[in-house]
Amino acid sequence: MSSTDTAAYALRLGDDALVLAQRLCAWVTRAPTIEEDLALSNIALDLIGHARTLLAHSGALDGTGRTEDQLAYLRTEREFRNALLLELPNGDFAVTLARQLAYSLYARLLYGELAASADEVLAGFAVRAAKEVEYHAMHATGWTVRLARGTAESRRRMRAGLETVWPYTGELFEEDALTRRLAAAGTGVNPAGIRESWEKAVTAVLADAELAVPAPSWQASGGREGLHTEAFGALVAELQSVHRQFPGGTW
């Protein structure tokens, strides 16, 4: 098991958390209730914590010695490895919650398995993170059902939100040479291996919501190779603008 593989893996997971946190930050002061300003900022705060641990670990293992901030603030768009789902524009509250549902149910399964990683840092991180994403999943599940069984309009929007994000969920479960090597070494989780459990969990929530699981006719992909959506450039520019304002500065 090479440490550069572990570094590349930690970078993928860390970028997922970072980019979703960045999207959620944009909700703060714009949520439907003050309670949701609190909830979404709290989830973003957890995700920033995840990103910090994972990026720091990646930088320590990839041979460059880069810090969490050097990785977050000084890479270009093409160097980010997050799945496209996480960078999708927020849309309305239903789109954001549909993404929360897909990601938090995935992260719960992922971190549950990663807790047994041969890499001690990843294992320790996953134990902690699994508890946090459990709450994120409860939040998303509650809202999915509430919106689906609220009013005709909220149901229409929830369904549309699910339709919007579902083509981007497949990428979370894609295997490649890296994940196969990591899974074989017991360091990482085979994403394809948790797909069935995820589908079961999603189906249960949507059954409660009396909604069908979307069956998109296409699947997006490319984030793990750094091929992002056009909206991603603006996200990265905003994320990094102050950090890059004064090179050599201290913050």
Residues that bind other proteins (CB under 8 A): 18, 21-22, 25-26, 28-38, 41-42, 44-45, 48-49, 51-52, 55, 68-69, 72-73, 92-93, 145-157, 210, 238-239, 241-243, 245-246, 248-251
Residue 46 or 113: which CB sits closer to other proteins?
46
Cβ of residue 233: shortest distance to other proteins, in angstroms?
Answer: 14
**What distance in Å separates the CA atoms of residue 99 and residue 152, rounded to the nearest whole number?**
21
Residue 151 or 217: which CB sits closer to other proteins?
151
Phi, psi (degrees; rounded to nearest 5) at 236: -65, -40
Residue 184 or 242: which CB sits closer to other proteins?
242
Cβ of residue 250: shortest distance to other proteins, in angstroms?
Answer: 4
* Six token digits for residue 114: 């990663």
Cβ of residue 93: shortest distance to other proteins, in angstroms?
Answer: 5
Residue 184 or 234: which CB sits closer to other proteins?
234
Tell me the CA end-to-end span of the chain in Å, nearest whole number. 36
Cβ of residue 49: shortest distance to other proteins, in angstroms?
Answer: 7
Cβ count near 71 (within 10 Å): 25
Which residues have a Cβ under 8 Å from the Cβ of 67 and sit 6 or more positions away? Answer: 56, 59
8-state DSSP, 105 = H
**What distance in Å separates the CA atoms of residue 104 and residue 113, rounded to the nearest whole number?**
14
